[in-house]
A and B are shown apart, each in its own frame.
Chain A
Amino acid sequence: MIADKVRTIWCRELQRDDISVDDDFFALGGQSVIMARIQGAFIEELGVEVPIDQMFLNPTVASISEYIESLDVVIR
Chain B
Amino acid sequence: MILQGNRVALPSVPVVHKQFEAHTEATPDAVAVFCGGHRVTYAELNAKANQFARFLVGRGHGRGAKVGVCLDYSIDMVVAILGTLKAGSAYVPLDPSYPAARLELLLRQIPDALVVASRATVGLVESEAVEVISFEQLSDHLADLPVTGPEVPVTGDDVCYAVFTSGSTGTPKLTGVRHEGWFNLLNWLMREYRLHRGSNNLVVSAFGFDLSQRSLMMPLFCGATQYLMASRNFDVAMAYRMLTQHEIRTVHCASSTLYLLVDWETARGGEALTRLDYVLFGGEPLKFERILGWARREGNTCTLLHQYGVAECTDVATSYDLADYRSDEHDIAPVGRPAYNTEIHILDERMRAVGAGECGEICISGTSVGVGYLNDTGPESERFTTVVVDGAPRRLYRTGDRGYVSQAGELVVLGRMDAQVKVRGMRIDPTDIERALGRLAGVREAAVVTSHTDSGESELVAFVVPAGDDLAENDVRPRLLETLPRNMVPARFINIPRIPLSPHGKVDRAALVDAFRNQYTRSGTTA
Task: Give residues in A with beta carbon < 8 Å to B.
Answer: 23-24, 26-29, 31-33, 36, 39-40, 43, 49, 51-53, 56
Alpha-carbon gap, A26 to B231, bound state (A): 19
Alpha-carbon gap, A52 to B231, bound state (A): 8
11 additional A-B pairs beyond A32-B487, A33-B260, A33-B457, beta carbons within 8 Å, are A26-B489, A27-B474, A27-B478, A29-B492, A31-B459, A32-B424, A33-B455, A36-B264, A40-B264, A49-B237, A52-B231
Which residues of B, 224-250, contact A by the 8 Å Cβ criterion? Answer: 231-238
Give the chain B neighbours of A31 by CB distance below 8 A: 459, 486, 491
Query: Which of A26, A33, A52 is B481 in contact with, Cβ under 8 Å?
Result: A26
Query: Which of B231, B455, B486 is A32 in contact with, Cβ under 8 Å?
Result: B486
Alpha-carbon gap, A42 to B232, bound state (A): 20
Tell me if B9 is interfacial: C-beta within 8 Å of chain A.
Answer: no
Give the chain B neighbours of A32 by CB distance below 8 A: 233-234, 424, 486-487
Select from chain B the residue with minimum beta-carbon distance to A39: B237
Given known A-B contacts A26-B478, A26-B486, A36 and B232 have beta carbons under 8 A apart? no
Give the chain A neighbours of B238 by CB distance below 8 A: 51-52
Alpha-carbon gap, A51 to B486, bound state (A): 18
Tell me if B477 is interfacial: C-beta within 8 Å of chain A.
Answer: yes
Give the chain B neighbours of A26 by CB distance below 8 A: 477-478, 481, 486, 489
The answer to whether A39 touches B236, judged by C-beta atoms less than 8 angstroms apart, is yes
Distance between A10 CB and nearest chain B CB, rounded to angstroms: 14
Query: Which of A27, A29, A36 is B491 in contact with, Cβ under 8 Å?
Result: A29
Alpha-carbon gap, A26 to B424, bound state (A): 17
Tell me if B388 is interfacial: C-beta within 8 Å of chain A.
Answer: no
Alpha-carbon gap, A40 to B487, bound state (A): 21
Query: Which of A27, A39, A51 is B477 in contact with, Cβ under 8 Å?
Result: A27
Alpha-carbon gap, A29 to B233, bound state (A): 17
Greatest chain A CB density within 10 A among B237, B238, B474, B491 is at B237
The answer to whether A53 touches B233, judged by C-beta atoms less than 8 angstroms apart, is yes
Given known A-B contacts A29-B492, A33-B457, A36-B260, A53 and B235 have beta carbons under 8 A apart? yes
Alpha-carbon gap, A53 to B231, bound state (A): 6
Given known A-B contacts A26-B481, A29-B473, A53 and B232 have beta carbons under 8 A apart? yes
Query: Which of A24, A33, A40 is B267 in contact with, Cβ under 8 Å?
Result: A40
Give the chain B neighbours of A53 by CB distance below 8 A: 231-233, 235
Select from chain B the residue with minimum beta-carbon distance to A26: B481
Give the chain B neighbours of A52 by CB distance below 8 A: 231, 233-238
Tell me if B256 is interfacial: C-beta within 8 Å of chain A.
Answer: yes
Alpha-carbon gap, A43 to B237, bound state (A): 9
The answer to whether B477 touches A36, judged by C-beta atoms less than 8 angstroms apart, is no
Alpha-carbon gap, A51 to B237, bound state (A): 8
